[in-house]
Chains A and B, each alone.
Chain A
Amino acid sequence: MTTAADDFLDLSDIQGIVVKAYSRFGFPVARYVLFRIDLPAHGRKFVVGITPMITTGVRWTDPASIPSAATNIAFTYKGLKHLDVLDASLHGFSDEFSMGMKARRDIVGDTGPNHPRHWDPVWHNESETGQHVHILVTIDGKGETEVEARYRQILALLVECPGVVQLSGQRGGGSDDLPYQPAAAIPPKPEEAGFPGGKEHFGYSDGISTTFFKGCGADPMEVIGEDKPVKGDPRTLEGWAPVAAGELIFGYPDEAFEYPEAPGPPLFSRNGTYLVYRKLHENTGSFESYLEAEGARFPGGKEALAAKFAGRWRNGAPLATFPTQESADRYIAELSALQLKVWAGQASPAEQARYQELALQLVALDYGDDKDGARCPFGAHTRRVNPRSALRFGNKKAFADDPGALSNRRRVLRRGLPYGRSETPARDDGDHGIVIMIVNADLSRQFEFVQQQWITFGNDFKLANDQDPLPGNHGTSKNCRAGGRMII
């Protein structure tokens, strides 16, 4: 049984990174810092010291309440062990967490070029403890100066606790030994200047969709297209319902009316969750040259091909709603122009209304009228990772009361930013990609499932072993070209 109290989230005890996509609050710069704990007492002292800096999920109701930088913290299993967390609690963690991602490589498809041996050096030099990365601290900020200031503040804590060591060995900027992972949003193109969200290195607008869950504190209108499809029209509030908070945070009921499995005592795990940290290099050179070559033969050209890969045009317009480049371009141009006016406070009431209408179209979509994948292919990235009600394959009567029955329990939150620069996208080497952080309450049912069954496999979409065209593991052949197949 769930009660109204269960829908009320204790936002002051939940970390900000769980509830807020920071880039939406004007934080385009980040640093991800890793630490090892050599002395448990020092580890605990460090945690106590950093606690006042931790940003919570409490709503930022007016712009003045937004801090200049946000700090969040996460621990590996070994990290918690090195803090002397009791065995009884440690035993309550799932195998996926206690084993760590390297040991799960066969499950998540980290093989071939993605094998852990190719990861940044910081993940290599392991002592006999198996995992020597113990703590992740994320710093997001309004600018480089704000992030640097917070970074210094955190490092100052180490003076008092020499038993905590900052780990270098992150790759970037020509070095293999950076003391932290820098990341920064890539601004939209000038003609999309008002577009809400940044770019990633393949040129797609990213950070558009989020997952709306009970109690998350976002504007209730945002539930549209962001969550569980229900029976109504997907373009309206009647078409969507928020997902249960327990899918994403410990201590609240989930979609099966249960509290997610979490270590005891409740005070230890409640309001916590699992966070997956992945640094994904993007082969921008191969991607662009493939688009050029194949796009020349593809009706609609390379932009249409890129759109078929992602399920969105590179300018962000969803393919299911805007099937032609012309309609997509027109839509984004109008949306961006209105967005700029809204930001400047110069929009008339009519323009405001039009803006709301257009902004909604960015996310208010399901695949009901595209059941054959004629617009957005079954294998497109966004249709795979969040199929909404598409797994009914057009059979409207199947799971009629719960159209998203096969996808509602696979929802995750996406956090993170692009890293590096790709001024010469003609090359694969160099330092550019995305740091993606996935938040969920059940690693196996949510992240690992999506990563394995929906990204590196295709059976749920009746696509045999075809993989996701973007983050799928397409291996490399002798001439260093990736393999794989996608049918459009």
Chain B
Amino acid sequence: MSNIAGKAYAMNVITPLKWLTTLRTRLIFWGAGKLPSTTLGLVTLSLIHYARWVILRPKDFPHLGPEQPKEDLQYCYMLFFSNFNGSWDQYVDSFSSTIPTGLDSFWYKNIKYTNSIPMLPFHRYITWNQIWTDNYYNAYPMASTNDVKSAQKVRQNLIDFARSTANATPDDFQRQYNKLLLSLQHDLSQMGLNPVVSLSASAVDRRLGKERRGVS
């Protein structure tokens, strides 16, 4: 069990809110969807794959069969789900530094929400309400979203380049090649392993590695 897979971290946070509050929150979500400038700060944070907020009513919770005891839920719940690159602290702090008012309007009057600044109570609020990830799979453990975006760009540009230079003269080829390199200069960095963002996560990794190799 780990929230980390390769360069990605999965964050689930579920926080209760009153039914009446959900009406306002839905309005805010709708407004943010219509007005992309409200989430511009978020979009600029290149460490985020995506972030999603969903409101769950008590009846949205799965009831899988009669053997599952019925729950008596008093609140609606807001599910926040996000994948990102980097450490927990880096992520949470980036949010509260760059879009503090946005966060405060999304969480607004969720039960015991502390506001995103000051930082320590906000950290406590998130930690308290975070649900740990049981299974997490990453198809490209060495890639961050930036790396994937760059790879896609390089691929597309190369395909286009191959097409457009198929019949080029050597001089023209050189010229276009130089142009291609220039346009891709921010996309040619070297990919590798994630740095060790948490010593406990790296201890888990080491242990798993040993288990796989049959060493105790």
Where the two chains meet, the residues of A that have a C-beta atom closer than 8 Å to any C-beta of B are 104, 106-107, 109, 256-258, 261, 372-373, 378, 392-393, 395, 397-399, 402, 405-406, 408-409, 444-445, 449, 452-453, 456-460, 462-466, 484-485, 487-488
Candidates B86, B117, B188, B196; contact of A257 at CB < 8 Å: B117
In the bound complex, CA of A402 to CA of B41 (Å): 11
Contacts of B20 in A (CB 8 A): none
Contacts of A466 in B (CB 8 A): 189-190
| Inter-chain contact A462/B195, CB cutoff 8 Å | no
Are A256 and B119 in contact, CB atoms less than 8 angstroms apart? Answer: yes
Decide if B176 is an interface residue (CB 8 Å cutoff): no
Residue of A with least CB distance to B118: A258
A459 touches B85 (CB 8 A): yes
Chain A nearest Cβ from B124, distance in angstroms: 12
Nearest-neighbor residue (CB-CB) of A466 within chain B: B189
Bound-state CA distance A465–B85 (Å) is 12
Does B46 interact with chain A (Cβ within 8 Å)? yes
A409's partner among B44, B97, B185 (CB-CB below 8 A) is B97
B133 on the interface (CB 8 Å rule)?
A: no
B169-192 vs A, Cβ < 8 Å mask (1 yes, 0 no): 000000000000000011011111
Q: Are B195 and A109 in contact (CB under 8 A)?
A: yes
B28-75 CB contacts (< 8 Å) to partner A? 37, 40-41, 43-47
**Contact call B119/A485, Cβ cutoff below 8 A:** no
Instruction: Determine whether the beta carbon of B144 is less than 8 Å from that of A459.
Output: yes
| Interface 9-residue window, one of B9-17, B87-95, B160-168, B208-216 | B87-95
Q: Are A393 and B44 in contact, with the CB atoms below 8 A?
A: yes
Cross-chain contact A258 with B146 (CB below 8 angstroms): no
Rounded to whole Å, the gap between the CB of A305 and the closest CB of chain B is: 15
Q: Are A449 and B147 touching (Cβ within 8 A)?
A: no
Encoded as 1 (CB less than 8 Å from any A CB) or 0, chain B from 70 to 111 comes to 000000000000000110011001101111000000000000
Say yes or no: A256 contacts B195, CB within 8 Å: no
Whether the pair A462, B97 counts as a contact (CB closer than 8 A) is no
> In the assembly, what is the distance between CA of A106 and CA of B41, in Å?
31
Task: State in angstroms the CA–CA spacing of A106 and B197 once bound together.
Answer: 9
CB distance from B127 to the nearest CB of A (A): 15
| Residues of A with C-beta under 8 A to B99 | 399
| A399 and B41 contact, CB distance less than 8 A | yes
Kindly state whether residue B202 has any CB partner on chain A within 8 Å.
yes
A398, closest chain B residue (CB): B44
Give 10 nearest A-B pairs by CB, closest first.
A465-B192, A464-B189, A398-B44, A256-B119, A106-B196, A405-B97, A258-B118, A463-B189, A466-B189, A405-B98
Q: Does B120 count as interface, using CB distance less than 8 angstroms?
A: yes
Question: A488–B41 Cα gap in the complex (Å)?
Answer: 27
Taking the closest CB of chain A, its distance from the CB of B138, in whole angstroms, is 15
Q: Of all chain B residues, which has the CB nearest A451?
A: B195
| B157 touches A (CB below 8 Å) | no
Q: With both chains docked as a complex, state the minimum distance between the C-beta of B209 and any C-beta of chain A, in angstroms.
A: 14
Tell me if A485 and B199 are in contact (CB < 8 A): no
Once bound together, how far apart are the Cα atoms of A463 and B188, in whole Å?
8
CB-based contact A258/B120 at 8 Å: yes
Instruction: Check B191 against A465 for contact (C-beta < 8 Å).
Output: yes
In the assembled complex, B139 has its CB within 8 A of some CB on chain A: no
Asked if A462 and B186 make an inter-chain contact with CB atoms under 8 angstroms apart, the answer reads yes
In the complex, what residues of B have CB within 8 A of residue A444's CB? 89
Chain B residues, CB < 8 A from A453: 86, 90, 195
A487 near B97 with CB under 8 A, answer: no
Q: In the complex, are the beta carbons of A487 and B189 less than 8 A apart?
A: yes
Inter-chain contacts of B193 with A (CB < 8 A): 465
- CA A444 to CA B210, docked complex, whole Å: 28
Question: Assuming A256-B117, A257-B118, A462-B150, is B94 touching A406 (CB within 8 A)?
Answer: yes
Chain A residues within an 8 Å CB radius of B47: 459-460
Residue of A378, A393, A397, A464 touching B147 (CB-CB under 8 A)? A464
A-chain residues with CB within 8 Å of residue B37 when the two chains form the complex: 397
CB-defined contacts of B119 to chain A, threshold 8 Å: 256, 258
Known contacts A398-B44, A452-B195: A445-B189 contact under CB 8 Å: no
User: What's the Cα separation between A158 and B102 when bound, in Å?
Assistant: 59
Chain B: minimal CB distance from A35 (Å) = 29
Could you list 4 further interchain pairs (A-B, Cβ under 8 angstroms) beyond the known A258-B118, A397-B40, A453-B86?
A402-B98, A405-B41, A445-B93, A466-B190
Residues of B contacting A487 with CB < 8 Å? 185-186, 188-189
Give the Cβ gap from A209 to chain B, nearest Cβ, in Å: 22
Q: Are A464 and B146 in contact (CB under 8 A)?
A: yes
Residue of A nearest to B46 (CB): A462
Closest to B203 in A: A106
Q: How far is it, in angstroms, between the C-alpha of A465 and the C-alpha of B7 when the chains are bound?
A: 11
Partner pick for B44 among A261, A392, A463, A488, CB 8 A cutoff: A392
Q: How far is the CB of B201 from chain A (nearest CB, A)?
A: 10
Given A258-B119, A457-B195; A398-B41 close (CB under 8 Å): yes
- Report A469 CB to chain B, min CB distance, Å: 13
- Chain B residues with CB below 8 A from A405, complex form: 41, 97-98
**Are A406 and B189 also in contact (CB < 8 A) when A109-B195, A393-B44, A399-B41 are?**
no
Complex: A106 Cα to B203 Cα, angstroms: 11
B199 touches which of A107, A373, A457 (Cβ 8 Å): A107
Distance in Å: Cβ of A290 to nearest Cβ of chain B: 17
B40, B46, B89, B202: the one contacting A445 at CB < 8 Å is B89
Q: Are B195 and A456 in contact (CB under 8 A)?
A: yes
Query: Which among A378, A399, A456 has the greatest number of chain B C-beta atoms within 10 A?
Result: A399
A459 to B142, CA, bound (A): 12
Residues of B within 8 A of A452 (CB): 195, 197
Instruction: Please give me the residue from chain B that is nearest to A395 by CB atom.
Output: B44
Closest to B96 in A: A256
Which single residue of chain A is at the shortest CB-CB distance from B202?
A: A106
- Within 8 Å CB of B85, what residues of A? 459
Question: In the bound complex, how far is the Cα of B41 from the Cα of A308, in angstroms?
Answer: 29
7 contacts between A and B (CB under 8 A): A104-B199, A395-B44, A398-B43, A399-B41, A402-B98, A459-B47, A459-B147
